[in-house]
A = this chain, B = another copy of it.
Amino acid sequence: MTEQRKRGSTASKEALLDAARDLFAERGYDRTTVRDIAGRAGVNQALLFRYFGSKEALFAAVVARSGRDRLAGSPPDQVFARILRGILDKEHHGDHAMRIMLRSTGEDAVAREIHDRLGQDYIRALAGTTGHPDAALRAHLVLAWIVGIDLLRSVTGAEPLAGADSDHVMACVLPAVRTLLEQVQDIPSHSDT
């Protein structure tokens, strides 16, 4: 009769991960209960603990799966454009990394870890595009802009930013970023790789 018998462990795990990802993004870590997750996944609550051990471990698994293929390794002078494009087009692939991070800042270490892992690659790549003595600071400022844009678009959904055409947004932002990164005081000329 009931055909939801024996879906298989990997399928159940995957369903739990998907449900958890969506709910964490919607409500944040604290306002999401394990009963909610299991319910949306169509899986008994006890299985969540059998497969992941704890709610926090589930969260870690969600984060780990989300931050897997984040930015392969691309020419540094296009990094910013690629990142920005990825964020602006985010509706296409339901990643929700930023929303999860911001909505679930309860466990500080976790959020910090996400930020570091997500940010360090960006920073390194961006800092390589300029020869400033304060290249790291300027790269962080660029990251800050990305984070802010992502936040206003995906979390608060503020118009007109949220609905703006991504090409248009990039055409606005890129020249300003170029000003920030290229604005030179005195650069000793050594070529970068």
Q: Contact between A169 and B141 (Cβ–Cβ < 8 Å)?
A: yes
Total copies of this chain within the assembly? 2
Q: Chain A contact residues: over half helix, strand or loop, or mixed?
A: helix
- Which of B30, B148, B179 contacts A31, CB < 8 Å? B30
A151 to chain B, nearest CB (A): 6
A37 to chain B, nearest CB (A): 16
Interface residues on A, range: 35 or more
Q: Contact between B140 and A147 (Cβ–Cβ < 8 Å)?
A: no
* A138-175 residues at the B interface, CB under 8 angstroms: 138, 140-141, 143-149, 151-152, 155-156, 158, 160-161, 164, 168-175
Which residues of chain A have a CB within 8 Å of any CB of chain B? 27-28, 30-31, 77-78, 81, 102-103, 105-106, 111-112, 115, 119, 134, 136-138, 140-141, 143-149, 151-152, 155-156, 158, 160-161, 164, 168-180, 183, 187-188, 190-193
